[in-house]
Amino acid sequence: MPQTTGGMSFVDARAEVSVNAGGLYTDISGHMSTLGVEGGERNFGTRFTADGDIPIVGIGKRQLTNVKVSSVYTETASEIFELLMNAYENKTKMRIRWAPKGFVVGNFVYTTSDGYVITQPYPGGDVAPGDIIMNEWTLQVGGITKSVQA
């Protein structure tokens, strides 16, 4: 396979969260600094038989998936920190969707199933350098689907 020329960065990424089963999304692109996905490994099983030296391998279901996001901390009621705190403290289902190249017709969009904020999003930081306060949070979900922006 020849070297690709289609590589891209995450600078045009856009992300939105929903706390009402995807009915209404709130744009968090102006707050999000990083977004990563972990988990989702597929279970598998093996079984040896009396006849043979290698196992029979079976494939199973996927594990939970964690979407980890770093976002700018603010104290504005309608912004991401308050949405996160409410979802975390009230055990409210939440989902996130993102588009690496932005929400433009034809681009891929990744959308989670409903899940829960499982890490406390309280602010913290180093008092010396004057860095912007960030909060890092994890949304644990059953899975992620890929679609094309219409």
- In this structure, the strands spanning 56-62 and 144-148 are unpaired
Q: What is the pLDDT along the chain (150 residues), one digit of tens a residue?
A: 899 999 999 999 999 999 887 789 999 999 999 999 999 999 999 999 999 999 999 999 999 999 999 999 999 988 999 999 999 999 999 999 999 999 999 999 999 999 999 998 788 888 888 899 999 999 999 999 999 999
- The predicted pLDDT at position 77 comes to 87
User: Positive or negative CA dihedral for 83, 89, 91, 97?
Assistant: positive
Domain 14-148: which CATH number of 2.50.20, 2.40.30, 2.40.128, 1.10.287: 2.40.30
- Return the amino acid letter for 144: I
User: From CA 132, how far away is CA 85, in angstroms rounded?
Assistant: 19
DSSP string, the chain: -PPPS----STT-EEEEESSTTSS-EE-TTTEEEEEEEE-PEEEEEE--SS-SS-EEEEEEEPPEEEEEEEE----TTSHHHHHHHHHHHT--BEEEEETT-S-TTSEEEEEPSEEE-S-------SSS-PPPEEEEEEEES-EEEEE--
Global pTM value: 0.89
- The predicted pLDDT at position 8 comes to 92
